[in-house]
Amino acid sequence: MSRVFRLMGMLPVGYYDLTVAGLPVHATAFRPVTGPALLANPFRVFTSLLRLDLLEPATRRLAQDTLARRDIFSPTTRYFLGLAEAQGGLRPDEAKDFVEASLDTFKWHLQSKVGVHEYALLQHASPLAADVVSFAGPHINHLTPAVLDIDAVQDGMIARGIPPKSIIEGPPHRACGLLLRQTSFMALTERVLFVDEATHLTPCSQGQHRARFGEVEQRGAALTPKGRELFEQCFRRARETPVEGGSPKSPAGPTHVAAGAKTNAVNDAHQKHLGRFFGPDSFPDDWETLRAEGLVYVKYSLSPSPGQLAAPNSSATVDDLVASGHVYYQAITYEDFLPASAAGIFSSNLGGDAVVVAGKPDQAAFEEALGGKVQDSHDLYSKEERDSIAAVRTQLGLLK
Protein backbone atom coordinates (compact mmCIF):
# COMPACT_ATOMS: atom_id res chain seq x y z
CA MET A 1 0.00 0.00 0.00
CA SER A 2 2.88 2.33 0.80
CA ARG A 3 4.33 1.78 -2.68
CA VAL A 4 0.99 2.57 -4.34
CA PHE A 5 0.56 5.82 -2.43
CA ARG A 6 4.20 6.81 -2.95
CA LEU A 7 3.65 6.64 -6.71
CA MET A 8 0.81 9.13 -6.20
CA GLY A 9 3.02 11.53 -4.24
CA MET A 10 1.61 10.56 -0.84
CA LEU A 11 4.01 9.58 1.94
CA PRO A 12 3.42 8.08 5.40
CA VAL A 13 3.27 10.82 8.03
CA GLY A 14 2.89 10.09 11.74
CA TYR A 15 2.50 6.94 13.80
CA TYR A 16 -0.87 6.43 15.50
CA ASP A 17 -1.36 3.91 18.30
CA LEU A 18 -5.07 3.13 18.52
CA THR A 19 -4.67 0.82 21.49
CA VAL A 20 -5.26 4.02 23.48
CA ALA A 21 -8.94 3.30 22.80
CA GLY A 22 -8.67 -0.48 23.02
CA LEU A 23 -8.47 -1.14 19.25
CA PRO A 24 -6.00 -3.76 17.94
CA VAL A 25 -4.53 -1.55 15.20
CA HIS A 26 -1.87 1.05 14.59
CA ALA A 27 -1.82 3.39 11.64
CA THR A 28 -0.29 6.17 9.59
CA ALA A 29 -1.65 8.78 7.21
CA PHE A 30 -0.52 8.85 3.59
CA ARG A 31 -0.53 12.43 2.34
CA PRO A 32 1.41 15.03 0.32
CA VAL A 33 4.17 16.62 2.38
CA THR A 34 4.77 20.02 0.76
CA GLY A 35 2.60 23.13 0.66
CA PRO A 36 2.20 23.17 -3.15
CA ALA A 37 1.41 19.45 -3.23
CA LEU A 38 -1.24 19.86 -0.52
CA LEU A 39 -2.85 22.69 -2.48
CA ALA A 40 -3.03 20.47 -5.57
CA ASN A 41 -4.06 17.33 -3.67
CA PRO A 42 -5.52 18.23 -0.24
CA PHE A 43 -6.25 14.64 0.71
CA ARG A 44 -4.95 12.23 3.29
CA VAL A 45 -5.73 8.52 3.70
CA PHE A 46 -5.72 7.23 7.27
CA THR A 47 -4.52 3.64 6.84
CA SER A 48 -4.60 1.07 9.64
CA LEU A 49 -2.66 -2.14 10.14
CA LEU A 50 -4.21 -4.94 12.20
CA ARG A 51 -2.03 -6.03 15.11
CA LEU A 52 -2.29 -9.80 15.09
CA ASP A 53 -0.15 -9.93 18.24
CA LEU A 54 -3.02 -8.40 20.22
CA LEU A 55 -5.59 -11.05 19.20
CA GLU A 56 -6.30 -14.24 21.13
CA PRO A 57 -4.50 -17.32 19.66
CA ALA A 58 -7.59 -18.84 18.00
CA THR A 59 -8.62 -15.52 16.48
CA ARG A 60 -5.04 -14.83 15.39
CA ARG A 61 -4.83 -18.17 13.55
CA LEU A 62 -8.17 -17.53 11.84
CA ALA A 63 -7.02 -14.07 10.76
CA GLN A 64 -3.67 -15.36 9.48
CA ASP A 65 -5.28 -18.19 7.52
CA THR A 66 -7.89 -15.87 5.99
CA LEU A 67 -5.42 -13.17 5.03
CA ALA A 68 -3.13 -15.77 3.44
CA ARG A 69 -5.94 -16.69 0.98
CA ARG A 70 -6.27 -13.22 -0.51
CA ASP A 71 -4.30 -10.69 -2.52
CA ILE A 72 -5.69 -7.18 -2.23
CA PHE A 73 -3.83 -5.99 -5.36
CA SER A 74 -4.73 -7.12 -8.86
CA PRO A 75 -2.05 -8.43 -11.26
CA THR A 76 -2.55 -5.25 -13.32
CA THR A 77 -1.85 -3.05 -10.30
CA ARG A 78 1.27 -5.04 -9.48
CA TYR A 79 2.47 -4.85 -13.09
CA PHE A 80 2.15 -1.07 -13.35
CA LEU A 81 3.61 -0.55 -9.88
CA GLY A 82 6.70 -2.53 -10.85
CA LEU A 83 6.90 -0.71 -14.17
CA ALA A 84 6.68 2.70 -12.48
CA GLU A 85 9.42 1.85 -10.02
CA ALA A 86 11.65 0.50 -12.79
CA GLN A 87 11.27 3.45 -15.17
CA GLY A 88 10.76 6.28 -12.66
CA GLY A 89 7.06 6.89 -13.25
CA LEU A 90 4.26 6.17 -15.71
CA ARG A 91 3.14 7.69 -18.99
CA PRO A 92 -0.36 9.27 -18.95
CA ASP A 93 -1.98 6.21 -20.56
CA GLU A 94 -0.19 3.87 -18.15
CA ALA A 95 -1.14 6.05 -15.17
CA LYS A 96 -4.81 5.95 -16.19
CA ASP A 97 -4.75 2.14 -16.33
CA PHE A 98 -2.87 1.96 -13.04
CA VAL A 99 -5.43 4.14 -11.23
CA GLU A 100 -8.39 2.23 -12.66
CA ALA A 101 -6.86 -1.10 -11.63
CA SER A 102 -5.98 0.19 -8.16
CA LEU A 103 -9.56 1.29 -7.48
CA ASP A 104 -10.48 -2.39 -7.06
CA THR A 105 -8.33 -2.49 -3.93
CA PHE A 106 -10.54 0.06 -2.18
CA LYS A 107 -14.03 -0.97 -3.28
CA TRP A 108 -16.73 -2.53 -1.14
CA HIS A 109 -17.16 -6.31 -1.38
CA LEU A 110 -20.54 -7.93 -0.84
CA GLN A 111 -19.12 -11.44 -0.39
CA SER A 112 -17.01 -12.27 2.61
CA LYS A 113 -13.97 -14.53 2.81
CA VAL A 114 -15.17 -16.21 6.01
CA GLY A 115 -18.14 -18.20 7.22
CA VAL A 116 -20.76 -16.86 9.57
CA HIS A 117 -19.25 -18.50 12.67
CA GLU A 118 -15.76 -17.32 11.75
CA TYR A 119 -17.11 -13.82 11.30
CA ALA A 120 -18.72 -14.00 14.75
CA LEU A 121 -15.37 -14.99 16.29
CA LEU A 122 -13.62 -12.05 14.64
CA GLN A 123 -16.45 -9.68 15.56
CA HIS A 124 -16.23 -10.74 19.19
CA ALA A 125 -12.49 -10.08 19.21
CA SER A 126 -12.99 -6.66 17.65
CA PRO A 127 -15.46 -5.25 15.11
CA LEU A 128 -12.47 -3.58 13.49
CA ALA A 129 -10.67 -6.92 13.17
CA ALA A 130 -13.78 -8.39 11.53
CA ASP A 131 -13.86 -5.50 9.07
CA VAL A 132 -10.16 -5.86 8.19
CA VAL A 133 -10.08 -9.65 7.81
CA SER A 134 -13.48 -10.78 6.57
CA PHE A 135 -13.57 -9.39 3.03
CA ALA A 136 -11.63 -9.49 -0.22
CA GLY A 137 -10.11 -6.05 0.27
CA PRO A 138 -9.55 -3.30 2.82
CA HIS A 139 -12.20 -0.95 1.31
CA ILE A 140 -12.49 2.73 2.23
CA ASN A 141 -14.78 2.83 5.26
CA HIS A 142 -15.39 6.57 5.39
CA LEU A 143 -14.83 9.85 3.60
CA THR A 144 -14.35 13.07 5.54
CA PRO A 145 -15.42 16.40 4.08
CA ALA A 146 -13.92 19.46 5.77
CA VAL A 147 -16.28 22.12 7.11
CA LEU A 148 -15.90 25.59 8.61
CA ASP A 149 -18.33 25.13 11.52
CA ILE A 150 -18.60 21.60 12.85
CA ASP A 151 -20.94 22.67 15.67
CA ALA A 152 -23.47 23.82 13.06
CA VAL A 153 -23.09 20.48 11.27
CA GLN A 154 -23.68 18.55 14.51
CA ASP A 155 -26.85 20.55 15.25
CA GLY A 156 -27.94 20.33 11.61
CA MET A 157 -27.73 16.54 11.57
CA ILE A 158 -29.95 16.34 14.65
CA ALA A 159 -32.45 18.75 13.09
CA ARG A 160 -32.63 16.58 9.98
CA GLY A 161 -33.07 13.31 11.87
CA ILE A 162 -29.53 12.03 11.19
CA PRO A 163 -28.18 10.67 14.51
CA PRO A 164 -24.62 12.03 14.92
CA LYS A 165 -21.92 10.81 17.24
CA SER A 166 -22.80 11.82 20.79
CA ILE A 167 -19.78 14.12 21.15
CA ILE A 168 -17.59 16.14 18.82
CA GLU A 169 -14.10 14.69 19.22
CA GLY A 170 -11.11 16.94 19.82
CA PRO A 171 -10.76 20.40 21.40
CA PRO A 172 -13.75 22.67 22.10
CA HIS A 173 -14.87 25.56 19.91
CA ARG A 174 -12.46 28.51 20.14
CA ALA A 175 -11.81 31.79 18.32
CA CYS A 176 -8.48 30.29 17.19
CA GLY A 177 -9.13 26.69 16.21
CA LEU A 178 -6.59 24.06 17.25
CA LEU A 179 -5.62 20.80 15.57
CA LEU A 180 -8.72 18.84 14.59
CA ARG A 181 -12.38 18.46 15.56
CA GLN A 182 -14.40 15.51 14.22
CA THR A 183 -17.88 14.05 14.30
CA SER A 184 -19.67 11.37 12.29
CA PHE A 185 -23.01 9.80 11.55
CA MET A 186 -23.98 6.18 12.07
CA ALA A 187 -22.43 3.48 9.91
CA LEU A 188 -24.68 1.80 7.38
CA THR A 189 -25.91 -1.71 8.11
CA GLU A 190 -25.25 -3.56 4.86
CA ARG A 191 -26.11 -7.00 3.54
CA VAL A 192 -23.21 -9.42 3.12
CA LEU A 193 -22.87 -13.00 1.92
CA PHE A 194 -20.95 -15.45 4.09
CA VAL A 195 -19.16 -18.38 2.46
CA ASP A 196 -19.22 -22.04 3.33
CA GLU A 197 -16.63 -22.58 6.08
CA ALA A 198 -15.42 -25.88 4.62
CA THR A 199 -14.47 -24.53 1.19
CA HIS A 200 -14.44 -20.76 1.72
CA LEU A 201 -15.73 -20.48 -1.83
CA THR A 202 -19.51 -20.84 -2.11
CA PRO A 203 -21.84 -18.23 -0.56
CA CYS A 204 -24.21 -20.07 1.73
CA SER A 205 -25.84 -17.56 4.07
CA GLN A 206 -26.72 -13.90 4.34
CA GLY A 207 -25.86 -11.57 7.15
CA GLN A 208 -25.19 -7.97 8.04
CA HIS A 209 -22.06 -5.90 8.52
CA ARG A 210 -21.44 -2.31 9.61
CA ALA A 211 -18.37 -0.57 8.23
CA ARG A 212 -19.02 2.44 6.04
CA PHE A 213 -19.98 5.69 7.70
CA GLY A 214 -19.82 9.44 7.21
CA GLU A 215 -17.37 11.68 9.03
CA VAL A 216 -16.94 15.45 9.15
CA GLU A 217 -13.90 17.44 10.23
CA GLN A 218 -12.92 20.99 11.05
CA ARG A 219 -9.18 21.68 10.92
CA GLY A 220 -7.35 24.22 13.03
CA ALA A 221 -3.76 25.30 13.58
CA ALA A 222 -0.83 22.91 13.81
CA LEU A 223 0.73 23.07 17.27
CA THR A 224 4.44 23.11 18.02
CA PRO A 225 5.81 20.57 20.55
CA LYS A 226 5.41 23.28 23.21
CA GLY A 227 1.82 23.91 22.10
CA ARG A 228 1.04 20.20 21.92
CA GLU A 229 2.36 19.66 25.44
CA LEU A 230 0.11 22.44 26.75
CA PHE A 231 -2.81 21.02 24.76
CA GLU A 232 -2.33 17.57 26.31
CA GLN A 233 -2.08 19.10 29.79
CA CYS A 234 -5.42 20.87 29.29
CA PHE A 235 -7.07 17.70 28.01
CA ARG A 236 -5.64 15.62 30.83
CA ARG A 237 -6.99 18.03 33.44
CA ALA A 238 -10.39 17.94 31.74
CA ARG A 239 -10.46 14.13 31.83
CA GLU A 240 -9.44 14.00 35.46
CA THR A 241 -11.92 16.63 36.68
CA PRO A 242 -15.57 15.74 37.39
CA VAL A 243 -18.12 17.43 35.16
CA GLU A 244 -20.07 20.20 36.87
CA GLY A 245 -23.64 19.12 37.51
CA GLY A 246 -22.91 15.44 36.92
CA SER A 247 -21.11 13.42 34.31
CA PRO A 248 -22.47 13.09 30.78
CA LYS A 249 -23.01 9.59 29.44
CA SER A 250 -19.75 7.81 28.78
CA PRO A 251 -18.81 7.13 25.14
CA ALA A 252 -18.64 3.48 26.23
CA GLY A 253 -22.44 3.60 26.45
CA PRO A 254 -24.71 4.98 23.71
CA THR A 255 -22.39 6.64 21.22
CA HIS A 256 -24.90 8.33 18.92
CA VAL A 257 -27.70 10.75 19.58
CA ALA A 258 -31.04 8.97 19.63
CA ALA A 259 -33.20 9.28 16.54
CA GLY A 260 -35.76 12.03 16.95
CA ALA A 261 -33.71 13.95 19.50
CA LYS A 262 -34.07 17.73 19.41
CA THR A 263 -30.81 18.57 21.18
CA ASN A 264 -27.53 16.91 22.07
CA ALA A 265 -27.25 17.31 25.83
CA VAL A 266 -24.25 14.96 26.04
CA ASN A 267 -22.21 17.01 23.59
CA ASP A 268 -23.33 20.30 25.12
CA ALA A 269 -22.11 19.16 28.55
CA HIS A 270 -18.90 17.76 27.08
CA GLN A 271 -18.04 20.95 25.18
CA LYS A 272 -18.84 23.17 28.17
CA HIS A 273 -16.63 21.01 30.37
CA LEU A 274 -13.72 21.13 27.90
CA GLY A 275 -14.14 24.88 27.55
CA ARG A 276 -13.34 25.32 31.24
CA PHE A 277 -9.83 23.98 30.59
CA PHE A 278 -9.18 25.62 27.22
CA GLY A 279 -10.08 29.19 28.13
CA PRO A 280 -7.66 32.05 27.30
CA ASP A 281 -6.11 31.84 30.78
CA SER A 282 -5.16 28.21 30.16
CA PHE A 283 -4.50 28.22 26.41
CA PRO A 284 -4.13 31.59 24.62
CA ASP A 285 -6.91 32.29 22.13
CA ASP A 286 -5.50 35.05 19.94
CA TRP A 287 -3.14 34.48 17.04
CA GLU A 288 -0.45 36.94 18.05
CA THR A 289 -0.01 35.40 21.51
CA LEU A 290 -0.06 31.91 20.05
CA ARG A 291 2.64 32.90 17.56
CA ALA A 292 4.78 34.96 19.94
CA GLU A 293 4.80 32.22 22.57
CA GLY A 294 5.73 29.57 20.02
CA LEU A 295 2.57 27.51 20.48
CA VAL A 296 1.55 27.27 16.80
CA TYR A 297 3.43 26.93 13.53
CA VAL A 298 2.95 29.90 11.22
CA LYS A 299 3.83 30.77 7.63
CA TYR A 300 5.21 34.24 7.01
CA SER A 301 4.73 36.36 3.89
CA LEU A 302 5.41 39.95 2.79
CA SER A 303 2.77 42.55 3.48
CA PRO A 304 0.93 43.74 0.33
CA SER A 305 2.89 47.01 0.17
CA PRO A 306 6.24 46.71 1.99
CA GLY A 307 7.73 49.43 -0.24
CA GLN A 308 5.65 52.05 1.55
CA LEU A 309 7.45 51.26 4.80
CA ALA A 310 10.92 52.33 5.88
CA ALA A 311 13.58 49.77 4.98
CA PRO A 312 14.00 47.33 7.88
CA ASN A 313 17.26 47.01 9.77
CA SER A 314 19.46 44.28 8.33
CA SER A 315 19.51 42.47 11.68
CA ALA A 316 15.73 42.66 12.22
CA THR A 317 14.20 39.51 13.65
CA VAL A 318 10.98 38.01 12.36
CA ASP A 319 9.23 39.50 15.42
CA ASP A 320 10.60 42.91 14.44
CA LEU A 321 9.33 42.46 10.87
CA VAL A 322 5.86 41.51 12.11
CA ALA A 323 5.76 44.48 14.49
CA SER A 324 6.88 46.92 11.76
CA GLY A 325 4.24 45.66 9.34
CA HIS A 326 6.72 44.36 6.75
CA VAL A 327 5.62 40.77 7.27
CA TYR A 328 2.26 39.09 7.79
CA TYR A 329 1.69 35.57 9.04
CA GLN A 330 -0.96 32.88 9.00
CA ALA A 331 -1.26 29.78 11.15
CA ILE A 332 -0.30 26.58 9.32
CA THR A 333 -3.26 24.20 9.06
CA TYR A 334 -2.96 20.90 10.90
CA GLU A 335 -2.95 18.21 8.20
CA ASP A 336 -2.82 15.14 10.42
CA PHE A 337 -4.93 13.24 12.95
CA LEU A 338 -5.45 12.69 16.68
CA PRO A 339 -5.20 9.03 17.80
CA ALA A 340 -7.92 9.23 20.44
CA SER A 341 -10.32 11.00 18.07
CA ALA A 342 -9.74 8.50 15.27
CA ALA A 343 -10.25 5.59 17.65
CA GLY A 344 -13.39 7.20 19.07
CA ILE A 345 -14.88 7.57 15.58
CA PHE A 346 -14.11 3.93 14.72
CA SER A 347 -15.47 2.60 18.01
CA SER A 348 -18.72 4.51 17.81
CA ASN A 349 -19.52 3.31 14.31
CA LEU A 350 -18.48 -0.30 13.96
CA GLY A 351 -20.70 -1.57 16.77
CA GLY A 352 -20.46 -5.05 18.21
CA ASP A 353 -19.28 -6.03 21.67
CA ALA A 354 -17.26 -3.44 23.53
CA VAL A 355 -14.14 -5.63 23.66
CA VAL A 356 -11.07 -3.68 24.71
CA VAL A 357 -7.58 -4.94 23.92
CA ALA A 358 -4.53 -3.98 25.92
CA GLY A 359 -1.41 -3.00 24.03
CA LYS A 360 1.48 -0.59 23.78
CA PRO A 361 2.83 1.42 20.84
CA ASP A 362 5.09 -0.57 18.53
CA GLN A 363 6.32 1.86 15.91
CA ALA A 364 9.31 -0.35 15.04
CA ALA A 365 7.06 -3.26 14.03
CA PHE A 366 4.78 -0.91 12.10
CA GLU A 367 7.69 0.56 10.15
CA GLU A 368 9.04 -2.92 9.43
CA ALA A 369 5.71 -3.80 7.82
CA LEU A 370 5.66 -0.43 6.07
CA GLY A 371 9.11 -0.95 4.60
CA GLY A 372 10.41 2.40 5.80
CA LYS A 373 10.13 5.18 8.34
CA VAL A 374 7.10 7.38 8.89
CA GLN A 375 7.77 11.10 8.69
CA ASP A 376 7.42 13.28 11.77
CA SER A 377 4.75 15.91 11.13
CA HIS A 378 6.58 18.39 13.37
CA ASP A 379 9.55 18.24 11.01
CA LEU A 380 7.27 19.12 8.09
CA TYR A 381 5.52 22.02 9.83
CA SER A 382 8.79 23.36 11.21
CA LYS A 383 10.42 23.28 7.78
CA GLU A 384 7.46 25.14 6.23
CA GLU A 385 7.80 27.87 8.87
CA ARG A 386 11.60 28.14 8.49
CA ASP A 387 11.37 28.23 4.72
CA SER A 388 8.82 31.07 4.88
CA ILE A 389 11.12 33.09 7.17
CA ALA A 390 14.04 32.58 4.80
CA ALA A 391 11.87 33.60 1.83
CA VAL A 392 10.68 36.90 3.32
CA ARG A 393 14.16 37.84 4.50
CA THR A 394 15.50 37.19 1.01
CA GLN A 395 12.69 39.24 -0.55
CA LEU A 396 13.47 42.10 1.82
CA GLY A 397 17.19 41.86 1.08
CA LEU A 398 18.11 41.00 4.66
CA LEU A 399 20.88 38.79 5.96
CA LYS A 400 19.75 35.23 6.55
Strand order in the sheet with 213-219: 142-143, 213-219, 180-185
For residue 323, being part of any structural domain is answered with yes
Quick one: pLDDT at residue 257? 67
Q: Could you give the 3-state DSSP secondary structure of residue 57? A: helix
Mean pLDDT of 152-159: 91
Lowest mean pLDDT among 67-76, 172-181, 314-323, 391-400: 391-400
Q: pLDDT tens digits for 188-237?
A: 888 999 999 888 888 888 999 887 888 899 999 999 999 999 999 999 99
Q: How many CB atoms lie within 10 A of CB 357?
A: 20
The rounded percent of the chain whose pLDDT value lies above 70 is 90
Is the pLDDT reported for residue 355 higher than 60?
A: no
Q: pLDDT tens digits for 31-81?
A: 999 888 988 888 899 999 999 999 999 999 999 999 999 999 999 999 999
Domain count, the chain: 1
| Distance between CA atoms of residues 2 and 87, nearest Å | 18
Q: pLDDT tens digits for 229-280?
A: 999 999 999 988 887 765 444 444 446 666 556 667 888 999 999 999 999 9
Q: What is the CA radius of gyration of the chain?
A: 24
Work out whether the CA dihedral 148, 149, 154, 155 comes out positive or negative. Answer: negative
Q: Which domain holds residue 283?
A: 2-70+113-395
Task: Provide the CATH number for the domain around residue 249.
Answer: 3.10.180.80
For residue 223, being part of any structural domain is answered with yes
For residue 206, being part of any structural domain is answered with yes
Quick one: pLDDT at residue 67? 94
Q: pLDDT tens digits for 321-349?
A: 999 999 999 999 999 998 776 666 666 65
- Paired with 48 in beta bridges are 27
For residue 76, being part of any structural domain is answered with no
For residue 164, being part of any structural domain is answered with yes
Quick one: pLDDT at residue 253? 42
| Distance between CA atoms of residues 350 and 352, nearest Å | 7
For residue 57, being part of any structural domain is answered with yes
Is the pLDDT reported for residue 374 higher than 90?
A: yes
Give the phi and the psi of residue 184 in degrees, each rounded to 5: -155, 170
Label residue 351 by pLDDT band (50, 70, 90): low
User: First vs last Cα of the chain: how many Å apart?
Assistant: 41
For residue 100, being part of any structural domain is answered with no
Mean pLDDT of 369-377: 95
Q: For residue 273, give the nearest of 239, 227, 231, 232 by alpha carbon.
A: 239
Mean pLDDT of 118-125: 92
For residue 267, being part of any structural domain is answered with yes
∠ CA 271-274-277 to the nearest 5 degrees? 150
Q: How many CB atoms lie within 10 A of CB 196?
A: 13
Quick one: pLDDT at residue 261? 65
